Structure 1
Amino acid sequence: MDTSQLLINALLFVFLPLWGVVGFFDWCCHRATQIESTSGLKESLMHSVMGIQVGIPILMCLLFQVNVLVLLVCLGAWLLHEAVAHWDVHYAAPRRFISIWEMHAHSYLATLPFYMLAMIFIINWPVVLDLVQFNWAGQMSLTRVDNPHGGEGYLAFYLTFMAILCGLPYLEENLRCLRQALRQRGRAA
């Protein structure tokens, strides 16, 4: 097995699942601090936005050949994720208790996307060189991969895993926060 395949396997079977596990742990911390009664819907929506910001490049790298366009999307999404993560903590810190466990979760949630991006850059180094040398001709379209990474069933497994571990919990958090916001608005009226 060559180095690129080892890095791809590390991404597929270590880093991507770990990102989901830590996301679930972070959701547990939010639930324990009753986010719906403290920082509320605004913070909860930021969490969903950050998940989408990392989810889009993950899907693009799983479904399409990595070219300059895909790398630009990955880089842009990572930068936006960092900005929203900073805004999230800045917003939440004065409104609710952030435990040491949640801070540890945030450490992973902030660094894992960077490490995944770095690994994608290493695996696709010739494309990175094209990116920085502005050799973008013919590399600004999406081309499906012939052989899906991780085999035929990986994408379905990973999407199911993430839906159960992160999608549904964060949807529940958003709904819980929305219900609380509507209750508070009803009391104020």
Structure 2
Amino acid sequence: MDTHTLLVHVLLYVFLPLWGIAGFVDWCCHRATHIEETSGLKETLMHSAMGIQVGIPILMCLLYRINVLVLLICLLAWVLHEVVAHWDVHYAAPRRHISIWEMHAHSYLASLPFYMLAMIMVINWPVVIDLVSLNWAGQMRLIPVEVPHGGERYLPYYLTFMALLCVFPYMEENLRCLRHYLKHGGNSA
């Protein structure tokens, strides 16, 4: 197996699933601390925003050729994710207990998007050179790949995995927090 293929496999079969597992552990911690009664709707919406901020670049990298546009979107999404992650912990820390398990989950949730972005940049090094040298001509449009990265079967399996571990649990958290918010006259906690 060549280095390129190895890096792609580590990205697809190690980093992407680990991000989902860390998200599920984080959700379990939120549930255990009764987020709906403490930091509430505002925090859970930040969690959803962060999931979307990483989810969109993941899908783009699986479905489109990596070019300057895709890389710029990934970089912007990563920066926005870091800003919201900081704001999330700053908001939640005085309102509810953040356990050691949640802190560990947060370390993975913060570092894995960076590692994934770095690995995408290494795998697509000529695109990085084009990005920093401002050689953007012909690279500012989305170009679908014929077969999604990882093969035809990878994307449905990965999306199902993420739906079960992250999308459905965080939807449940959003609904639980929204119900509590509405039940208590618009007060989060």
- What range is the shorter-chain TM-score in? over 0.9
Q: What is the DSSP-based 3-state SS (H/G/I as helix, E as strand, rest coil) of the residue aligned with 1:168? A: helix
The alignment's C-alpha RMSD in Å is 1.0
Mapped pair 1:19 → 2:40 = no
Match of 1:59 in 2: 59
Match of 1:150 in 2: 150
When residues 39 and 186 of structure 1 are mapped into structure 2, their CA distance, relative to the original with a 3 A threshold, is: closer
Match of 2:126 in 1: 126
Any stretches of 5+ residues in structure 1 without a counterpart?
Answer: none
Counterpart amino acid of residue 167 in structure 1: V
Mapped pair 1:35 → 2:35 = yes
Match of 1:3 in 2: 3
Q: Residues of 2 paired with 1:128 and 1:186: CA distance?
A: 47
Mapped pair 1:92 → 2:69 = no
How much does 1:149 deviate? Answer: 1.7
Match of 2:45 in 1: 45
How much does 1:186 deviate? Answer: 7.4
Mapped pair 1:109 → 2:109 = yes
When residues 33 and 60 of structure 1 are mapped into structure 2, their CA distance, relative to the original with a 3 A threshold, is: same
Match of 1:72 in 2: 72
How much does 1:147 deviate? Answer: 2.8
Match of 2:160 in 1: 160
Q: What is the DSSP-based 3-state SS (H/G/I as helix, E as strand, rest coil) of the residue aligned with 1:5? A: helix
Q: What is the DSSP-based 3-state SS (H/G/I as helix, E as strand, rest coil) of the residue aligned with 2:184? A: helix
Give the count of matched residue pairs.
Answer: 187
When residues 184 and 133 of structure 1 are mapped into structure 2, their CA distance, relative to the original with a 3 A threshold, is: same
Q: What is the DSSP-based 3-state SS (H/G/I as helix, E as strand, rest coil) of the residue aligned with 1:185? A: coil
How much does 1:71 deviate? Answer: 0.2
How much does 1:26 deviate? Answer: 0.3
